[in-house]
Structure 1
């Protein structure tokens, strides 16, 4: 791996961590505890569109682990990994099928992230009633996905390919 690529990885992971920290400082005013806007998804989108898919996956994984170790715990890492992996796969498929705009790909990611987290919550807490949160999460994932997708799309249009 070249020094330039290592620097790009480092910058994107650092940016994702800063966005995660900012998001953690926002007051919890959502219907479902733990809901976030998913600002770090902007970084994953940029990496997905401006780097190789493998690079974007690595950046996403490193970000999830570092954010959980820095600001969270084992359970937050579990939730983030489930949501992050499912989200990444949905965004990758959406991007490759070329039927979605950047905002559409982001929406797929936001919705998939929420589904992944609910699945982990149901499994960890052994409580199927948590699935009742899913409609709220899907609606929120749709809105947050559009927001982060529009922002990510603006950045993608302005940035050159990174790798």
Structure 2
């Protein structure tokens, strides 16, 4: 990895951490725990579009661990890693397939992120009644994924690495 690429990855990891912090300042409560816009995912999606899944995974892991230690706890990190891993896997598959726009990839990422977190939560609490949250989380994943996709599309137009 060259120095320029390393610098960009560090920059976008820092941007993701800042976005995570800003998002923590504005608590959003929709009656279901865990719903948020996910601004930090903008940096990850941009890196996935610009480089490869490996660089996106590094930025995602760094931002999750740092945000988790600064503003969360170990469970926050575990849930976020599960959601991010499934999300990145799905987005990478969709990116490799032709015919999916950045908006579609982002929506799939938002939905799969929530599914990953829900699966881990059900395993941790050993109770499948958490799956009642699924419809709301799927809808919120679609909405937030669309918003992040739109933002990432605009950033991608303006920033060329």
Asked if structure 1 preserves the Cα contact closer than 8 Å seen for 2:53 and 2:88, the reply is no
1:142-161 maps to which residues of 2 (within 5 A)? 142-160=142-160
- Aligned mates of 1:52, 1:86 — CA distance in 2: 16
After TM superposition, give the deviation of residue 144 of structure 1 in Å. 0.5
Structure 2, unaligned runs of 5 or more: none
What is the RMSD of the two structures over their aligned residues, measured on CA atoms? 1.1
After TM superposition, give the deviation of residue 58 of structure 1 in Å. 1.1
Q: Which moved further from structure 2: 29-38 or 70-79? A: 29-38
Residue-by-residue CA offset, 1:1-60 (whole Å, 9 max, x unaligned)? 332222111110100001111111112221211211111111111100111221111111
After TM superposition, give the deviation of residue 103 of structure 1 in Å. 0.8
Asked if structure 2 preserves the Cα contact closer than 8 Å seen for 1:107 and 1:145, the reply is yes
Larger RCO: Structure 1 or Structure 2 (Cα < 8 Å, ≥ 6 residues apart)?
1
Structure 1, unaligned runs of 5 or more: none
TM-score, normalised on structure 1? 0.94
1:97 is aligned to 2:97: yes
Equivalent pairs, count: 161
- Aligned mates of 2:31, 2:89 — CA distance in 1: 27
Partner of 2:45: 45
TM-score, normalised on structure 2? 0.95
